[in-house]
Amino acid sequence: MINKYYIQNIEQIKDAFHNNKEFPHVVLVDFFEKKDYEMIKQEIKRTTFSPEKDPLTHSYSIARTTFLNDPFFEFVSTIVNGNIKPMKQTILQFKHKDYTILNDQQQDKPGVDIIFNVTDDWQDEWGGSHFYVDGSGAYTKMLTTGNTLVMARRSADTKRFVKYVNCTSKQKSRIFIIMSTS
């Protein structure tokens, strides 16, 4: 279940999202109630990931899921003023040497990114953070901890990448549940 505070203050969150005129986005910490977040983490532990690599664009491990249910998508739809239907979710796991790179072939249509961070105790200097870049070269870094939801509206010029995970992360990995609409 979504944190009651966010349910009760949904209009304020909606305003916060849309008031970011240049890059509409919002970051919600402690997004799920603790018990539900723990359940999601348990599901992730049971998930089998498949490594995927194209050196010029990405390196990560991937899995598909349907953890997130109808109330979640109703909440997201209300915030972004759109009709976001329940969809399959991608789980991406980033460990040492994983990354994504911006590239000229990447032509995401405008839409909404929904990114849920499922990693506790991650140090920012290990890498693995999401960055958004607009056409002018300006960067927005998404500082997220475990149980944080990011909703971001992509324009035609907005692109997203995940910073290389460096050796100081050792054996740890960073996991996100990601959905994108277009």
Partner 1 sequence: MHNAILHEWLHPVYLQEDKITKLQHSFSSAKPFPHLVLAHFLVEKKATAILRAIAKEKLVLKDSDLFTFFQTNDFKITRNKVLLDFRNFLCSNDFSQYLTRITACKIKSKRIDMSASLYLKTHYLLPHDDRLERRRIAYLYYLSTLAKKDGGALALYDSKNKKPTEIVKKIVPQFNTFAFFEVSGCSFHEVEEIVSDKQRIAISGWFHDQ
Residues that bind partner 1 in the complex, under the rule CB under 8 A: 54-56, 97, 99-102, 125, 127, 131, 133, 161, 163-164, 166-168
The interaxial angle of helices 70-80 and 10-19, nearest 10 deg, is 50
> CA 94, CA 165: separation in Å to the nearest integer?
7
3-state secondary structure of 78: helix
Distance separating alpha carbons of residues 165 and 22, to the nearest angstrom = 29
- How many of the other CB atoms lie within 10 Å of CB of 157? 10
What is the DSSP code (8-state) at residue 136? T
CB of 144 to partner 1, least distance (A): 18
Q: Which is nearer to partner 1, 68 or 92 (CB)?
A: 92
Q: Which is nearer to partner 1, 8 or 167 (CB)?
A: 167
Q: Please identify, using beta-carbon distances, which residue of 19 and 105 lies nearer to partner 1.
A: 105
Minimum CB separation from partner 1 for residue 159, in Å? 9
CB of 31 to partner 1, least distance (A): 26
Identify the bridge partners of residue 44 per DSSP, sorted by sequence position. Answer: none
- The residue type at 37: Y
Based on CB atoms, which residue is closest to partner 1, 130 or 153? 130
Rounded least distance, CB 26 to partner 1, Å: 23
Q: Which two tokens stand for residue 79?
A: 């915030």
